[in-house]
Amino acid sequence: SQQGEEDPQALSIQEGENATMNCSYKTSINNLQWYRQNSGRGLVHLILIRSNEREKHSGRLRVTLDTSKKSSSLLITASRAADTASYFCATPPGDSGYSTLTFGKGTMLLVSP
Amino acid sequence: GAVVSQHPSRVICKSGTSVKIECRSLDFQATTMFWYRQFPKQSLMLMATSNEGSKATYEQGVEKDKFLINHASLTLSTLTVTSAHPEDSSFYICSAREGGPTYEQYFGPGTRLTVT
């Protein structure tokens, strides 16, 4: 079964608004990563947050991690039309028992001009 | 950062034919490469893990005789979809890692396979 589960499945907002996506996972982790995928394209690594970190920023991205709730959130501030993509959380090998990253189902974000 | 390339980016083939997809690590040696399949609006599903010089390890439900994986060198892995059928139409993404599980994975741009 998948390790990560994102919600919402789809999110539609206007340019300039903030977008928040959530990810829940099942087992203990060393870190959690967020990826973006434009339609029909490969994955782009966005940000990695380690299990001993609670919050991390990168440009307009803000990621939080709550290991007690086994959840993470990705916030995109002041969204742009170019942010339209699918966003996946992924957990690494190790405690999950998998040999590679395990991806959630993703959130499809649509940012309208 | 490290770059992983895939070729071709898009391929259309007829049912019953075989298609080979290449995955290359361009600026690092990949001891481990992974192949994922992604159906429309779905997440990436791991198909198999290949270590250079050894047989690939396939995930449950993935037919090893249908999806042939060769990892003959530290910079190249190939996925051959044999006797392709329309249901094999999908987006195939490879990923490469320089070492063990603590190393970062780098992803290729994907290959869109359409079987008619």
- B93/A43 Cβ within 8 A: yes
Residue of A nearest to B113 (CA): A40
- What distance in Å separates residue A37's CA from the closest CA in chain B? 10
CA of A6: which chain B residue's CA is closest? B43
At position A40, the amino acid (one-letter code) is G
- The chain-wide mean pLDDT, for chain B, equals 92
Give the residue on A whose Cα is nearest the Cα of B112.
A40
Do you know the residue count of chain A? 113
pLDDT above 90 for B113? yes
The model's confidence at residue A14, banded by pLDDT at 50, 70 and 90, is: very high
**Are B43 and A40 a contacting pair at CB < 8 A?**
no
Distance CA(B19)–CA(B13), nearest Å, equals 7
Over 70: is that where the pLDDT of B1 sits?
no
Shortest Cα distance, chain B CAs vs residue A16, angstroms: 25
Question: Cβ–Cβ of A42/B34 closer than 8 Å?
Answer: no
∠ at Cα A73 (A71, A75), nearest 5°?
A: 175
Distance CA A23, CA A8 (A): 9
Residues of A in contact with B9 (CB under 8 A): none
Q: Which chain A residues are Cβ-neighbours of B112 within 8 angstroms?
A: 40
pLDDT in tens, A27-62: 888 889 999 998 878 888 899 999 999 999 999 999
Mean pLDDT, residues B48-56: 88
> CB burial class (10 A; 0-12, 13-18, 19+) of residue B107?
buried
> Mind telling me how many Å the CA of A46 is from chain B's nearest CA?
12
- State the pLDDT at residue A94: 58
The answer to whether A100 contacts B49, with C-beta atoms less than 8 Å apart, is yes
> What are the residue ranges of helices labelled H in A1-113?
none
Cα distance between residue B36 and residue B22, in whole Å: 13
Interface test with B, best of A23, A44, A101, A108 (most B CBs within 10 A): A101
